[in-house]
Amino acid sequence: MARIDLDLAHSYVPHPRTDDDYALLPLRFTFEDGGAYALLGPSGCGKTTLLNCISGLLRPSHGTIAFDGRDVTGATPQARNIAQVFQFPVIYDTMTVGENLAFPLRNRGVPEAQVRERVGRVAEMLDLSSTLGRRASGLAADAKQKISLGRGLVRQDVSAILFDEPLTVIDPQLKWQLRRKLKEIHHEFRLTLIYVTHDQTEALTFADQVVVMSRGKAVQVGPADALFERPAHTFVGHFIGSPGMNFLSGQWRDGAIDVAGRRYMPPLSPSVEAALRAAGSFRIGVRPEYLQLAPERDTQAVPVQVQRAQDIGTYWLLTGTVQEAGAQAGTLRARLGAEAAGLRAGDTAWLSVFNRHTCYYVNEELVP
């Protein structure tokens, strides 16, 4: 396994001029040896481009990549000693399941006793033991994809294993099991794993560190709780969570925060207060989980006009609009308990927007 240092940018066009010409904007990042990482972001944000730069399928147009301090920028995937699992199964149909799993090992001249031992282990982990003798061609798509995963996991000597949306063809129930399996395998083998997905649940359950990407940029790297509690960028607040973080416009006016024509004086640290005062206008971020119904005219609460209160089973989802001078100035969504059951469209509800979880954003960046 290896520590992977990136200091690169990539453009698919020969003479990039603007940021839009880059699939990956300049990025400096280290994947620590033995870490489990996810690259998470919407379609087209550059996840596959980054993964292919790491594996060596793509040479970055700018910068360098080093494995354990050794420059590998021009090296092939073979020379980098990388295993990669793709979205769709890559296996040999004419071989048996066992032969497919053994292939990466036999190909490198690993002694047969060791091959058998290792194939047995991996097959057991992926519930493939009973199919080892069967021809791969007759198997269903998800069984084939399990073989692809197994072929990625079977070698012990790789620098890293890269997964590009490997569970796309797997049905939801099995998906959940395999995600858990990959996590167990990571704990047992301590491999450096990098896992690409656009599914936040997949990323947050699999990885210790999630790299959230937006338009060619890594906007935040952190564990699941940091992405949830302190999104570094409004994009992360929005993208992580279901529904995502709420944002309201705020202004600093006469020593207080103005939201939709009301004054608020929440307790702020001196540095946050100074930043908000200097910025003048900013955004206030609060997650639906951290909004509660407050008494009418509560000094930390914002009144909303209820649009609807939906029973989601384990909670109620309240959607309300913030009004200013008869016009809509924002929307808030709150995850509430049974107390929301009595709310009807058109009612006024007061939501505790200012609390210890509230985040402030200037130019879309979190005020630390």
Ligand X SMILES: Nc1ncnc2c1ncn2[C@@H]1O[C@H](COP(=O)(O)OP(=O)(O)OP(=O)(O)O)[C@@H](O)[C@H]1O
Tell whether residue 197 is a contact of Mg ion (CB under 5 A): no
Nearest distance in Å: CB 17, ligand X: 16
Distance CA 200, CA 64 (A): 29
CB nearer ligand X, residue 42 or residue 223: 42
Residues 284 to 303 in contact with Mg ion, rule: CB under 5 A = none
Nearest distance in Å: CB 51, ligand X: 8
Q: Which two tokens stand for residue 3?
A: 């520590």
Stretch touching Mg ion by CB under 5 A, among 43-51, 216-224, 262-270, 274-282: 43-51
Nearest distance in Å: CB 8, ligand X: 13
Nearest distance in Å: CB 161, ligand X: 18
166 touches which of Mg ion, ligand X, none (CB within 5 to 8 A by kind)? none
Q: Which long-range contacts (CB under 8 A, 24 or more apart) does 53-60 make?
A: 53/6, 53/8, 53/10, 53/24, 54/4, 54/6, 54/82, 54/160, 54/162, 54/194, 55/80, 55/82, 55/84, 55/162, 56/80, 56/82, 57/84, 58/10, 60/8, 60/9, 60/10, 60/24
For binding to ligand X (CB under 6 A), which residues are involved? 12, 23, 41, 43-49, 198
287 touches which of Mg ion, ligand X, none (CB within 5 to 8 A by kind)? none
CB nearer Mg ion, residue 48 or residue 100: 48
Tell whether residue 84 is a contact of Mg ion (CB under 5 A): no
> Are the C-beta atoms of residues 161 and 196 closer than 8 Å to each other?
no
Q: Which two tokens stand for residue 158?
A: 């790789």
Q: Which class for 303: exposed (0-12), middle (13-18), buried (19 or more C-beta within 10 A)? A: middle
Tell whether residue 148 is a contact of Mg ion (CB under 5 A): no
Closest CA to 164 of 23, 55, 240, 79: 55
Nearest distance in Å: CB 12, ligand X: 3
Binding Mg ion by CB under 5 A: which of 4, 5, 36, 48? 48
Residue ranges binding Mg ion (CB under 5 A): 48
